[in-house]
Amino acid sequence: MITDPIADYLTRIRNAVKARHRIVDIPASNLKKELTKVLYDKGYIQNYKFEDNEVQGNIKIALKYDPSTKQSAILSLERISKPGLRKYASASELPRVLNGLGIAILSTSHGVMTDKEARAAHVGGEVLCYVY
């Protein structure tokens, strides 16, 4: 039993990047699917596929690497809000990651979105993670 599925999701991606894997399999949930869509839209992963053939389903994520330097597009994945200590931010105090070069992924009342999208929509929420 996993107590923090989002931390498990981020750790699986982090471990796959360190091991230079091309594809990583992750057990699916609705929140993990939304996180995957945000990572794809912002260009941190190459592609993804949702497989719903099992009870829970799987997410297959194709990681993105620079062909010349073999460097991953994801340099760091950091979990911010944890089950023991939730971190929330209002619309006026949304975090900026690396002075705007990275993204903060938030869970808001309008769905899962980045800090820039939340700032434009004037909504706050739970800060899930930082990606850069």
Direct distance between the N- and C-terminal alpha carbons of the chain, in angstroms, rounded to an integer: 29
Domains of the chain from N-terminus onward: 5-63 (3.30.1370.30), 77-131 (3.30.1490.10)
Q: Residues 19-77: pLDDT tens digits?
A: 999 999 999 999 999 999 999 999 999 999 999 876 889 999 999 999 998 899 999 99
Q: Are 10 and 129 in contact, with CB atoms under 8 Å apart?
A: yes
Query: Cβ contacts of residue 45 below 8 Å, gap of 6+?
Result: 36, 39, 61, 62, 63, 64, 73, 74
Q: Residues 75-113: pLDDT tens digits?
A: 999 999 999 999 999 999 999 999 989 999 999 999 999
Greatest CA span in the chain, whole angstroms?
42
